[in-house]
Structures are given as C-alpha cells and as structure tokens.
C-alpha cells in the first residue's frame, strides 16, 4: 500500500521560514479572484530552500506568480514543466535564487511552491493569484472555499509509485498566521455573507448595497477551510459577459479575441416538473476508510464523518419513490454491498438496508474507490430504471485522475452525485466525479445543515434525464464562435451551467443570441438568451483566463484518454495554450529566476518543508508508531482504526482524538422522517407522538382511521412548524399525499380539523396538497 501524498509530521523545534499568509478575495457576481501573499524570512545562519505543498480549489485557474526580494520583483513565466524544473535546479546549483510553482501530476488541487534560496536574514514575499467560479448552493448562496487543510491522499495497491512530500502539523500548531479579507460587488444588492469562521461585520460601500467588504475576525486559526457563502437579491438569472482581448495579443488567438461567458439557468416546462420520477436505480457508495472516523471539523460538538455519512444515506433512502430500485455499497481497502444486486424499494428492503447502514463503521482501511466503482459499472443496468450514483467520501484519494476517467468512461450509463465530507475533501475529486458523471457536487463540513444539500441532489436525480443537448449560436455576419467549454452533458432545473466561447471577427450589430436545445422526458425543449456584444468594462482578462482554464482541462482529459498517442499532440496544445494564456496546467509550471547582481549565494543549502494543517491521526500500535522513522511513520494512517492518545514533547505535539463520540441530540425533523413508511404513510405509535412533541394519549385521543390520521397530523406538523426547511421534506410530503389519495378515505376533513386542534395550527386541505 502506498500514498501519493506522504505526510510527515513537523517537529516543533524546526524553524519555519514562512511567517504569514495574506489573502485578498475579490468577488464580482459569481467569479472570484484570489491574491495570496506568502511572506518568508530566513532566521537561520545558513541559506534555505523552503518547500510548501498546499491545496487550491481543483477548478482554479492559477494565472500569476511573482517574488519580491527587497525592492526587486521577479515575475514568473509559464514554461513546460520539465524545462521549468531544470531551470530551477540549474539556478540553485549556480548560486542564484529561483522560485517554482507547479501543479501535482496526480491531482489538480495540490500545488508545490519551492523558494530557493534565501540568504541568512533575508526576506521574500511571494504573490500567487488565481481565478475561479463560485458554485451555487441549495439555498442559492454562492460558495467560495479557501482550502487550508491538506490531508494525506491514499494511493491504492498497484498504482504508480509517485509521491509528494507533505509536512503536516495539527491545525492548532500551524506556525504562521493567516489574514483574509474579501470585497464583494454585484449588479444586484448583497444580502448577506456567512462563513464557517468568525467574521467581522459586513461593511457596505455604497447606499445601493451592491458593494461590500468583510474579513476574518482576529485570531483565526488554520483549523478548517475558510468558507464564505455570499447571497445576492434575485441574482440567479441568465447572464452574459463579453470581455475584450489583450491589446498585446494577436487577433485570432484566444487572448487576442473577445471571450464570452454565459451563465445559463434552464427553466423546464411545468407540466414535466410537476410529476416526480417514480423510477430509477439509486446506488449509494459510502466511504468507510479509517479517516472517516475523524470529526467533521475540530469542534468537539460535531459528529464523525462516518456518522454524517450514515445520515446522508438515511435521508435520501427514506425519500425514494415506490417502484424504484436501490443498493448500498461501502469501501475502504476492500468493498462490500448490502444486496447482491439492486432490489426493489419496499418497506422490507428499506428497513433491512437502514439496519445495516446503522451498523457501518470506519473500519475498512484505505481509500480505494476505483474497485467498487468498477464493480458497480459491471452490473447490468435495469431496463427503464435510470441509474443514479451517490458517492459519499472524505476525498482522501491519491489516484484522482484515474477515478475521474473511469466515471467519464461510464457517463453514458448513469449520473453521478458526489459529496465531499469534512475538512480537506479533495475538490478535484468531488467536482470531477459530478462533472464527468453529469451530476452535481456538494461539500459538507461540520457547520452545515446537510439535509438541504442531500435533498437538492436527490431532487436533481429524480428529474428526468436531459438528452440531446445542443448549443446554437446566432451571431451577426462576420462574427464566428469557437467553443472553449466541453459540450454540456447535464442540465437541471434552475441550476447554473457555464459556457465559454471565443468570438472572432467584427460586426456593427449589437446583439447575439444563444439557444440551448434538449429533450426532456420526450418533450423537445429550448431556452434562449439574447446578449449584448458590447464588452463589459473593468473585467481585465478574468473571463479569458477562465475560458483558457476550461479548454486546458478538456484537453488534459483528452490526453489522458489517448494515453499520449500521436506523439503527445494534445499535450503540446495544452503547453502552448498554457504559455499563451499564462494559466497553469498539468504539463506546465511557473518559474522565476533572480539573477540579481551576479553574486552567488555561498554555503550548503538547507531544505525546510513548510507544514500544512492536517487532521491528526495515529494507529492503535502506539509503540510501533513512535519507533518508526519520521520518513515512514506517518504514511500509515488510513490502514488503522484510530485510538485516543497524544504524542507529546519533545518531538511532537498533537491534539488527542477519541473514537467514543457522543451522539448529538436527535433532530425532531429527522426523527419524524425516520418514522415514515416506504409507502409514504405514518403509523400511530409513541415514537410519532414524541416526534410531534405530544404524549401518546394526546395523539391517540381523536381515534379516526389510524394510518390516515397519523399521516395527516404529520403533514400538518411539517407545514405548520418546518416551512423554513421545506426543501428537506417536500418529497416525503408528496409521497404521503399520493398515499392518502390512494386510500380514498372519507375522513380527511375530520382528520385535518382534529390535527389543527391538536397542534394549534390552522392548515387548510389545499395547503397540504389534499
């Protein structure tokens, strides 16, 4: 068993040349520009090389890298990766200073920054800039995440022996500070900004409230990824932004021509959306590796990742429609399944599955997701039951690209909905699974209310599959279009799709039009967006960089599929595009060399690995663990169950971890959901009374038809007390209403009146869907 990321924990006595990280975020509508400044200082008496391996969003376009030493600023160039590495090594060996930034070969959300070399007493500031799109959440907020936690990635048996050296410390011991500020601007007012970290108060910059600033409260620790949720008023409407090209770039090239970014929000016909699908094969794949026994974040009040994942399975399983099929797989170093093959959804199979899920623990070792995926894809699809795959994982996977390639290869037979659980989940893996699988990605940390996110993905899965998607451009004569985005493979009601395209040529006409055509449940449908060809002001080249990133990622996928055939023709295209646009790729790196005054740096160079925050895990074999050398002792984490102990001074410090986790109080809504039968009804029993906050005597007193009465009083409680969480229970309410209609019971009116009296509500039959 091997890791692609080797995680060695950092001895407290080491000196760390990285002193502080300053992050400035600028959000314009749903696009973010991030500028990070890393301040280094060598306090030792010998020259240093500092190596920092850290996470970035997997879909980020890294577009600037520079170093400032004294008054001298060196701006890096993008070059083919091997050439950049050789130039870096040559510079150091000749006594020059050099700076290298490169993306991991295995996963696009891990970068390595090498600073070499710093003279004794010398300081340097490294500036790193990237742009990224913000994902739309279930509550219509836009999510920005600044990754901080980098957990080890498990490398399965038989995989390529490629390693990245990562030095880690518990989050509370990170030896450098973080400051973070954000500026938000939008054509529409900013409603609010929320975070999983303490924030200072939001400050509006104008009376229209379309511009605002916010920053992290003082004293923030690197104990979690920094997540911002940004809410605009009525923001999620189709839009188009046209950006002029660079004046210095040649017309006809990507950077020399205008680029358009389309944000599409398809609206499906109401006749189709009014009926929820009653068919489908729902396959749930649950991560049970050892790392899933960690807490969702460092707060003692939050449950473990495996505990959250069990809820993830529970919520959609109780909401499935009658007549569908399902199965549940789990994986670690091996994989298991509850049923030999997918079974029809019924009360019996649901209860059997839930019982086994409740018994599942994080005891299957490493994170080997490839084999269970292959097994699932080897199972024949059930006729007229479209396959929907739900993957729940903490994302600590080393062979990310191989997994994503497999999902794409099988994308024609299923849709994939992915969930990243806990701090440090790989954005490259989670987003890649959903993108190539035609589904939707969600990230869940300890502060989230997870049910809305699970329900959003389930609602998407229950929507009819959109097929025969095409994009038609209607542009003025003299203007041609070149797609920069891969073809759209999935559309969901109200969910954003982004399209980038290069516009070549000129025209006096002021408007263009794009039409998205598709077939939905057998109905030909289309949505149109008319947009101005007049370029937007003050956008810089952000849209060009995002368009270049989109094309680069598509070409990289094509190169992996071809396996380097045709003399690396696609790789050459990627390198050329990356160099031209200044955007990083898997085959290029940023390199900067400070030739200075020609005076060589004297003395042997000492390497210092800058630590990243990580979850802290140790195996049960404490004695063996402490005797292992540092180079090997910290690569075994995922093979063992966790045990509570602390490695203390003088070598290491770490927060202790206990696997005896207290269960949080049961959510009344979840309690009520758990009592619904697969058919959609509730039965009258003490558990139902407790969920409603009543005694058994109070609930049993009216004595109408028992199951009809129990179901109606549950519906009244949901509508009367949980309307703020409607997205979490509307599907089970639809099941309940369908069941009630099938009963054709004469006592519905009587039950509604009695239920209102019992609960102190005033709900009408039509409001309940009856």
C-alpha to C-alpha distance for 461 and 439, rounded to whole angstroms: 8
**Structure-token pair, residue 146:** 């600044």
Is residue 477 predicted with pLDDT exceeding 70?
A: yes
Position 572 scores a pLDDT of 93
Q: What is the pTM of this model?
A: 0.82
| Confidence band for 398, pLDDT divided at 50, 70 and 90 | confident
Is residue 612 predicted with pLDDT exceeding 60?
A: yes
Helix (H, G, I), strand (E, B) or coil at 622: helix
Give the CA radius of gyration of the chain. Answer: 28
| Confidence band for 180, pLDDT divided at 50, 70 and 90 | very high
In contact, 44 and 204? CB cutoff 8 Å:
no
Position 571 scores a pLDDT of 92
Tell me the CA distances in angstroms from 770 to 469, 734, 739, one per residue in order. Answer: 37, 10, 11
pLDDT, tens digit, 9 for 90 and up, residues 306-316 = 888 888 788 88
Which CATH fold would you assign to the domain 278-462? Answer: Rossmann fold (3.40.50)
C-alpha to C-alpha distance for 314 and 737, rounded to whole angstroms: 21
Q: Which residue has the higher pLDDT, 404 or 645?
A: 404
Helix (H, G, I), strand (E, B) or coil at 542: helix
Is residue 518 predicted with pLDDT exceeding 50?
A: yes
Asked which of 163-167, 438-442, 501-505, 720-724 is least confident by mean pLDDT, the reply is 163-167
| Confidence band for 297, pLDDT divided at 50, 70 and 90 | low
Helix, strand and coil content of the chain, in percent to the nearest 5, comes to 30, 30, 40
Is residue 149 predicted with pLDDT exceeding 90?
A: no
pLDDT, tens digit, 9 for 90 and up, residues 83-101 = 999 999 999 998 899 999 9
C-alpha to C-alpha distance for 151 and 649, rounded to whole angstroms: 23
| Confidence band for 617, pLDDT divided at 50, 70 and 90 | very low
pLDDT, tens digit, 9 for 90 and up, residues 687-699 = 999 999 988 888 8
What is the CB-side half-sphere exposure of residue 261 using CA atoms within 13 A?
22
In contact, 230 and 183? CB cutoff 8 Å:
no
Give the 3-state DSSP-derived string for 752-769, with helices as H, strands as E and coil as C.
HHHHHHHHCCCCCCHHHC
pLDDT, tens digit, 9 for 90 and up, residues 338-351 = 999 999 999 999 99
C-alpha to C-alpha distance for 635 and 640, rounded to whole angstroms: 11
Residues contacting 665, CB < 8 A, separation 6+: none
Among 351, 416, 427, which residue's Cα sits nearest to residue 394?
Answer: 427
What values do phi and psi take at 618, rounded to 5?
-140, 150
Position 624 scores a pLDDT of 30
Which CATH fold would you assign to the domain 2-233+582-609? Answer: Immunoglobulin-like (2.60.40)
Where in the chain are all domains bearing CATH 2.60.40? 2-233+582-609
Is residue 158 predicted with pLDDT exceeding 60?
A: no
Q: Per-residue pLDDT averaged across 308-336, rounded?
A: 88
pLDDT, tens digit, 9 for 90 and up, residues 649-668 = 333 333 333 334 444 446 78
Is residue 749 predicted with pLDDT exceeding 80?
A: yes
Residues contacting 310, CB < 8 A, separation 6+: 357, 358, 360
Strands in 550-680 per DSSP E: 588-594, 606-610, 612-614
Asked which of 118-122, 232-236, 521-525 is least confident by mean pLDDT, the reply is 232-236
| Confidence band for 447, pLDDT divided at 50, 70 and 90 | low
Position 152 scores a pLDDT of 59
Is residue 233 predicted with pLDDT exceeding 80?
A: yes
In contact, 242 and 535? CB cutoff 8 Å:
yes
pLDDT, tens digit, 9 for 90 and up, residues 29-38 = 889 999 999 9
| Confidence band for 4, pLDDT divided at 50, 70 and 90 | very low
Q: Which residue has the higher pLDDT, 569 or 373?
A: 373
DSSP 274-342: TS-----EEEEEEE-SGGGGSBSSS-TTS-BHHHHHHHHHHHHHHHPPTT-EEEEEEESSSEEESSSS-
Tell me the CA distances in angstroms from 6 to 3, 634, 747, one per residue in order. Answer: 6, 7, 66
Q: Per-residue pLDDT averaged across 245-254, rounded?
A: 90
Where in the chain are all domains bearing CATH 3.40.50.410? 278-462
| Confidence band for 261, pLDDT divided at 50, 70 and 90 | very high
């Amino acid at each position: 068993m091997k890791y692609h990321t080797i995680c060695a924990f950092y001895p407290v006595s080491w000196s760390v040349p990285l002193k502080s990280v300053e992050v400035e975020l600028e959000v314009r509508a749903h696009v973010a520009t991030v500028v990070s400044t890393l301040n280094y200082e060598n306090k030792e008496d010998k020259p240093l090389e500092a190596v920092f391996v850290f996470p970035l969003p997997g879909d980020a376009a890294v577009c600037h890298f520079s170093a400032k030493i004294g008054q001298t600023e060196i701006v890096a160039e993008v070059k083919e990766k091997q050439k950049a590495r050789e130039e870096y090594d040559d510079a150091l060996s000749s006594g020059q200073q050099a700076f290298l930034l490169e993306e991991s070969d295995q996963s696009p959300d891990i970068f390595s920054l090498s600073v070499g070399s710093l003279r004794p007493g010398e300081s340097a500031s490294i500036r790193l800039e990237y742009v990224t799109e913000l994902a739309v959440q279930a509550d219509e907020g836009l999510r920005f995440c600044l990754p901080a936690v980098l957990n080890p990635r498990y490398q399965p048996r038989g995989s390529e022996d490629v390693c990245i050296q990562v030095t880690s410390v518990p989050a509370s011991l990170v030896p450098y500070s973080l400051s973070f500020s954000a500026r938000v601007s939008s054509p529409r007012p900013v409603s609010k900004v929320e975070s999983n970290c303490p924030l200072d108060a939001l400050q509006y910059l104008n009376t229209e409230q379309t511009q605002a600033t916010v920053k992290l409260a003082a004293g923030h620790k690197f104990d979690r990824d920094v997540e911002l949720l940004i809410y605009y008023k009525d923001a999620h409407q189709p839009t188009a932004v046209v950006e002029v090209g660079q004046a210095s770039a040649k017309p006809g090239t990507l950077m020399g021509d205008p680029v358009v970014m389309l944000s599409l929000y398809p609206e499906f016909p109401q006749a189709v959306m009014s009926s929820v699908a009653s068919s489908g094969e729902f396959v749930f794949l649950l991560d049970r590796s050892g790392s899933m026994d960690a807490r969702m974040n460092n707060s003692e009040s939050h449950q473990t990742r495996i505990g959250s994942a069990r809820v993830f399975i529970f919520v959609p399983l109780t909401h499935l429609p009658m007549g569908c099929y399902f199965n549940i797989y789990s994986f670690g170093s091996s994989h298991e399944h509850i049923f030999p093959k997918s079974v029809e959804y019924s009360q019996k199979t649901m209860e059997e599955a839930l019982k086994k899920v409740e018994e599942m623990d994080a005891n299957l070792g490493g994170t080997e997701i490839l084999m269970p995926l292959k097994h699932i894809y080897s199972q024949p699809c059930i006729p007229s039951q479209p396959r929907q795959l739900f993957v729940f994982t903490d994302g600590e996977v080393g062979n990310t690209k191989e997994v994503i390639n497999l999902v794409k290869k099988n994308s024609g037979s299923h849709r994939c909905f992915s969930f990243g659980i806990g701090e440090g989940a790989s954005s490259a893996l989670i987003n890649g699974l959903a993108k190539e699988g035609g589904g939707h990605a969600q990230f869940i940390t300890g502060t989230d209310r997870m049910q809305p996110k699970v329900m959003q993905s389930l609602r998407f899965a229950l929507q009819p599959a959109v097929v025969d998607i095409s994009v038609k451009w209607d542009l003025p004569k003299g203007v041609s279009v070149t797609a920069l985005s891969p073809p759209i493979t999935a559309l969901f009601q109200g969910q954003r799709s982004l399209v980038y395209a290069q516009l070549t040529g000129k025209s006096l006409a002021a408007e263009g039009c794009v039409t998205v055509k598709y077939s939905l449940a057998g109905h030909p449908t289309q949505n149109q967006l008319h947009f101005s060809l007049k370029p937007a002001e003050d956008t810089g080249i952000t849209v060009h960089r995002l368009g270049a990133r989109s094309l680069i990622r598509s070409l990289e996928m094509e190169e992996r599929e071809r396996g380097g055939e045709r003399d690396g023709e696609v790789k050459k295209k990627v390198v050329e595009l990356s160099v031209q646009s200044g955007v990083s790729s898997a085959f290029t790196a940023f390199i900067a060399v400070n030739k200075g005054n020609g005076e060589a740096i004297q003395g042997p160079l000492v390497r210092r690995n800058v630590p990243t925050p990580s979850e802290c895990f140790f195996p049960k074999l404490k004695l063996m663990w402490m005797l292992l050398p540092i180079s090997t002792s910290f690569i075994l984490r995922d093979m063992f169950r966790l045990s509570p102990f602390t490695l203390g001074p003088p070598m290491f410090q770490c927060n202790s971890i206990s696997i005896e986790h207290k269960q949080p109080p049961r959510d009344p809504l979840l309690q009520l959901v758990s009592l619904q039968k697969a058919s959609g009804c509730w039965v009258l029993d003490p558990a139902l009374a407790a969920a409603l906050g009543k005694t058994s005597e109070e609930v049993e007193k009216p004595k109408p038809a028992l199951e009809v009465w129990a179901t109606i009083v549950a519906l009244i409680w949901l509508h009367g007390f949980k309307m703020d969480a409607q997205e979490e229970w509307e599907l089970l309410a639809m099941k309940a209403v369908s069941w009630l209609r099938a009963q054709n019971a004469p006592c519905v009116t009587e039950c509604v009146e009695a239920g209102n009296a019992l609960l102190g509500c005033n709900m009408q039959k039509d409001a309940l869907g009856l």
